[in-house]
Amino acid sequence: MGELISIIVPVYNGEAYLERCVSSITGQSYRDLEILLVDDGSRDRSLKLCQELAEKDGRIRVFSKENGGVASARNLGYRNMTGDWFMTMDSDDYMAANAVESLWEAAKRNQAEVAIGGIELFWDSGRSGERRQAEGDWSGTLAEFTDQMLLPLFDLQLIHNQNNKLYRAARLYYDETMSINEDVWFSVRMLTRCSRVAVIPEIVTFYRQHQEGESLVSRFYENGVDTCFVLLKAVMGLLKKGQASSEVRNGMYNRMVFHICGFAGLAYYRAGYSRSQCLGEIRGLLSRKEFMQLLFKVRPEGLKNTLAVFVLRRRWARLYHWMCLMLYGRQRREYVRRRKGTIV
């Protein structure tokens, strides 16, 4: 027998996908599992289906709570898990048959507290999408990971995704106020707490895309910009703990500038905010001390970041506002047509 691994599955209105997800877990080549299905106030048959699945496999435990979001559902799972290691899986995704075994063996072989695998996108239509994976096996200390792997894995969004990682059990809970960015925040915080990391090239998670051309970050989240700064604080902590080089630091600074500005565009310009509201939000962004500190730390890379940093360092809110109106004009018009409203 190996060590017990807990797999936490938050479930919300997931009856259409749940059986495939759970069968991919119960069918794992690694058998020493406990599977925690956490129903988050579903309004369909999800809870009943969870209970039926638990009757078929004694490793499944079912929990039910009022709807509070994926972070609170995962936290309930963390509070009740008993494994030496844990993973998460969203109820509309599924695992490769040897995912757990591959990650656990990599972690044990390299004495790592976190093991990271690849993901493959797929669509409701059944079409397979992009494969995102490291080029080969890798392992090392946190400092070596920060220096060699942080930027490439961040760009592949293998840091962002939560379900492609095996973690040594530790008491770290999600910030339940975060409606977006919570996965990447959790990954960054867990990496900060570890001493060694292992990376494998195998695809371990199949990540569902519900509508072609739409991603999670293309949707509107009212507190999206605020969560970027919670993430920024965690990233700064990782760079410090990982003794990041000036090159890696600047690389992450650039990615965080792009991330924050992108969320600002999403939250203000691609949603129902009026032009005057958008301008007010940009002025509010420029009043944030941590944002201005980031702008003056970064050596901008790429045309978009170079232009944005040049304008925002000078607090030219109206000029940046105009740039955003030009950049997001088509999306704003599409939003108006969808909502059959008017943006002033």
Pick from 218, 224, 103: which is nearest to 167 by CA?
A: 103
> Across residues 193-197, what is the average pLDDT?
97
The 3-state secondary structure of 47-77, one letter per residue = HHHHHHHHHHCCCEEEEEECCCCHHHHHHHH
State yes or no: pLDDT of 257 exceeds 90.
yes
- The pLDDT assigned to 214 comes to 45
Which comes out higher in pLDDT, residue 269 or 242? 242
Band (pLDDT 50/70/90 cuts) for residue 273 is confident
- The pLDDT assigned to 106 comes to 98
- The pLDDT assigned to 110 comes to 98
Which residues are registered as beta bridge partners of 167? 86, 114
> Across residues 33-37, what is the average pLDDT?
98
> Would you tell me which CATH number, out of the four given (3.40.190.10, 3.30.565.10, 3.40.50.300, 3.90.550.10), belongs to the domain 1-91?
3.90.550.10
Longest distance between any two alpha carbons in the chain, whole Å: 65
| The model's pTM | 0.91
- The pLDDT assigned to 220 comes to 52
- Encode pLDDT of 113-132 as tens digits: 999 999 999 988 777 789 99
The DSSP bridge pattern shows strands 196-209 and 138-141 to be: antiparallel
| 225 residue type, one letter | V
Where are the CATH 3.90.550.10 domain residues in the chain? 1-91
- The pLDDT assigned to 216 comes to 40
Percent of residues, the chain, with pLDDT higher than 90: 81
- Encode pLDDT of 49-63 as tens digits: 999 999 999 999 999
- The pLDDT assigned to 221 comes to 58
What are the structure tokens assigned to 221, written together?
A: 């989240």
- Encode pLDDT of 127-160 as tens digits: 778 999 999 999 999 999 999 999 999 999 999 9
Burial 289-328 (b: 16+ CB within 10 A, else e): eebeebbeebebbeeebeebbebbeeeebeebbebbeeeb
Could you give the angle at the alpha carbon of 261 between the alpha carbons of 256 and 264, nearest 5°? 130
- The pLDDT assigned to 171 comes to 80
Q: Compute the mean pLDDT over every residue in the chain, rounded to the nearest whole number.
A: 92
> Across residues 169-180, what is the average pLDDT?
86
Which residues are registered as beta bridge partners of 1? none
- The pLDDT assigned to 125 comes to 72
- The pLDDT assigned to 57 comes to 97
